[in-house]
Amino acid sequence: MGLGVLASRATRLSGRGNPSRSLFYVRTIVTKPELQSPEASSAAAAPEPTPDLPPRTPLGGARVHFPNPDDAIEVFVDGYPVKIPKGMTVLQACEVAGVDIPRFCYHNRLSIAGNCRMCLVEVEKSPKPVASCAMPALPGMKIKTDTPIAKKAREGVMEFLLMNHPLDCPICDQGGECDLQDQSMAFGSDRGRFTEVKRSVVDKNLGPLVKTVMTRCIQCTRCVRFATEIAGVQDLGMLGRGSGEEIGTYVEKLMTSELSGNVIDICPVGALTSKPFAFKARNWELKGTETIDVTDAVGSNIRIDSRGPEVMRILPRLNEDINEEWISDKTRFFYDGLKRQRLNDPMIRGADGRFKVVSWRDALAVVAEVLHQAKAKEVVGVAGKLSDAESMMALKDFLNRMGTNNVWCEGNGPNPNADLRSGYIMNTGISGLEKADTFLLVGTQPRVEAAMVNARIRKTVRATNAKVGYIGPPTDFNYDHQHLGTGPETLLQIAEGRHPFCSEISNAKNPAIIVGAGVFEREDKDAIFAAVDTIVKKYGNVVRPDWNGFNVLLLNAAQAAALDLGLVPESSESIETAKFVYLMGADDINLDKIPNDAFVVYQGHHGDRSVYRANVILPASAFSEKEGTYENTEGCPQQTLPAVPTVGDARDDWKIIRALSEVAGVRLPYDTVSGIRSRIRTVAPNLLSLEEREQATFAASLKPEVKQKISSTPFKAAVENFYMTDPITRASKIMAQCSALLAKK
């Protein structure tokens, strides 16, 4: 939307009368090899577009999907015929035809309000311009988007919108990425006729994340609809009427939603902006790096905006299959943790218990020496929850060469089951959850464990009235649910068919069972999974050839890749007898279990918890500073890209291990990322096919018999504080503020 589209339309219109000229434009912009070779380009030039109807391409993101081919209707947008399914609005038809309609209140993921009137278009035989966002397209409709009437209507609307809008673009954080600014460039006048005094509105306090300047508000109600429909917190509303209308909460109330940061993105003006980012940078100074988020196992697609060596903000990136276009507040605002408590130099703890800064050479020499002194059985390696697949591969290879196999990833529990891939990933897929009509949540609170998955479940529940049953400690849900029980005995009741919820599962078309990864830490984990398997087998509709409703919702970004790579310890008690512990960013393991005489090496990027126990600190780079592969909970591998240079003397995790292996005399056979990836190819090839969800081949039914007894201990909350789950978020000031103000006591 905005100037670029309008400009491109202008160039297209100017080239309309002259086909060869318009082709010239295309060839300069598109750099496809077939267009550069002369034969191919002449072939491409052969079917010349008729000068009257230049070919139109649907605007980015506009997909035409015909649920029922008979329902297709044909409308004409500026004389160009398009086929669209019945029930689409005029605005969507225009998008399919490649015409961008200016809009403020319309948002394709929210309900239709039709109150900004910016999207007025002319429809033949209609006496007045119609609001295209709220008008269903009818067969044979002739829509005109660039006639004088449509233009005049938009100019009139724009003048009214600008009437009460303050002229504070120079001090507004939205300046440069503001819909109103962009569209007033196209439809605004250079002067106003309004000579009265502009209205002003009292700013509201929405908490530590969202800054409000309500005078700038144009009453599009996108934020109200977002809060009500997507976030599920009915706090915002439209108060008053006429020119006194304003957005607010009426009573003093903070917006306590884990998705509240998204109102910043959907606000078309600068009324809702980011509080931590306020007055920090202009958006055109920033360099965007498209990467992924590692604070939870969802792997939301994000864009890290950086200026020079600093991460300035994090924005979501569109990915329909994972996070749509939302991200959680933790993902959006934890970035200031990347600048605090960083480890920047290798350090060794001296005899007096104090850390001394040393060179890499000395640090690695000390580590290698101690490592050689320890017996192979007493060496243990733990990968942290933010580790990428490459470094975990290197860690496992290195320790295997040292003769031990006691390597695991924190969060996977003492005795992980990595044999059946279907047993630890979300087989349905996050977007697949939309097809489910009954959910059974076992020991998981998706709202704090994976906010984007929760948003998906809420979307499903809102759209189809899907039933949700929940087993676990009492917790907050933002959709209707039945609390079936707190402990595993409820699960047994369902498995044995003694529970009223059984009929819901058996009657469901696509039931989905989601087991939380918090269960991994339990003693009776195998028995619980066996009970879930019983449910799966009992109700044949849970796992079918065309539907796999058995899901595990993981907690951490590293978990799935660690299990794919086989980071499974040889014995579950190895850490209690260890003499040498290698912590690769592991801050959430129980440090009391490590014996006092053990030598602990901490390799990581934040001075969080484990550094206080460490003997040697090796500084590593954070996810924003390195290239790494992360597999999300649905088994979809994605890559991070370095957005900013790393700090101090820190190095990538796998490079440290590679260097250490050389010092220790067991050189790992790879020197580059591509080298380490070809090693991964031999272990878990699916990690290299990015953005592809490889289905788990073997069903859970192949599992061996479980003799374990289920215990009656109730399920625990796996995430205690949504805002502080890993070393980076614990270092963040904003997250500390959030957990003080917003986290439910």
Q: Does 113 bind another protein (CB under 8 A)?
A: no
For the CB of residue 207, give the shortest distance to another protein in the complex, in Å: 16
**Cα(419)–Cα(129) distance, integer angstroms:** 63
Buried/exposed code over 639-671 (b: 16+ C-beta within 10 A; e: otherwise): bbebbbebbeebbbbbbbbbbbbebbebebebe
Give the footprint of another protein on residues 345-384 (CB under 8 A): 345, 347, 349, 352-355
Give the footprint of another protein on residues 310-329 (CB under 8 A): 310
Site string for another protein, 178-217 (x = CB under 8 A): -------------x---x-x----x-x-------------
Task: Please give the size of the binding site for another protein, defined by CB under 8 A.
Answer: 47
Out of 159, 229, 246, 627, name the contact with another protein by CB under 8 A.
246
Out of 85, 188, 207, 248, name the contact with another protein by CB under 8 A.
248
For the CB of residue 720, give the shortest distance to another protein in the complex, in Å: 23
Q: Does 249 bind another protein (CB under 8 A)?
A: yes
Give the footprint of another protein on residues 60-89 (CB under 8 A): none
* Choices 60-68, 118-126, 242-250, 630-638 (CB under 8 A): range interacting with another protein: 242-250
**Cα(314)–Cα(15) distance, integer angstroms:** 39
Tell me the residue length of the chain: 745
Q: Does 676 bind another protein (CB under 8 A)?
A: no
Maximal CA-CA distance, the chain: 89
Out of 341, 417, 541, 571, name the contact with another protein by CB under 8 A.
341
The separation between the first and the last C-alpha atoms of the chain, rounded to the nearest angstrom, is 42
What Rg, from alpha-carbon coordinates, does the chain have? Answer: 29
Q: Kind and range of the H or E element at 453?
A: helix 451-464
Q: Does 17 bind another protein (CB under 8 A)?
A: no
Reading the block at residue 5, the tokens are 């589209």
Out of 330, 342, 467, 651, name the contact with another protein by CB under 8 A.
342
Judged by CB, which is closer to another protein: 63, or 193? 193
Judged by CB, which is closer to another protein: 25, or 355? 355
Judged by CB, which is closer to another protein: 63, or 191? 191
Buried/exposed code over 192-218 (b: 16+ C-beta within 10 A; e: otherwise): eeeeeeeeebeebebbbbbbbbebbbb
Reading the block at residue 726, the tokens are 């890993």
Residue 72 forms beta bridges with which residues?
Answer: 85
Give the closest residue to 291 by CA, choosing from 626, 559, 730.
626
Question: What's at 301, amino acid-wise?
Answer: N
Out of 69, 242, 540, 545, name the contact with another protein by CB under 8 A.
242
Out of 63, 241, 707, 745, name the contact with another protein by CB under 8 A.
241
Q: Does 541 bind another protein (CB under 8 A)?
A: no
Q: Does 486 bind another protein (CB under 8 A)?
A: no
**CB contact at 8 A, 635 and 560:** yes
**CB contact at 8 A, 122 and 144:** yes
Q: Does 170 bind another protein (CB under 8 A)?
A: no
Q: Does 225 bind another protein (CB under 8 A)?
A: no
Out of 107, 216, 606, 730, name the contact with another protein by CB under 8 A.
606
* Mode of pairing for the β-strands spanning 547-548 and 543-544: antiparallel
**Cα(398)–Cα(392) distance, integer angstroms:** 10
Reading the block at residue 20, the tokens are 């060869």
Give the footprint of another protein on residues 633-672 (CB under 8 A): 647-648
Binding stretches for another protein (CB under 8 A) = 191, 195, 197, 202, 204, 234-246, 248-252, 308-310, 338-345, 347, 349, 352-355, 606-607, 611-613, 647-648
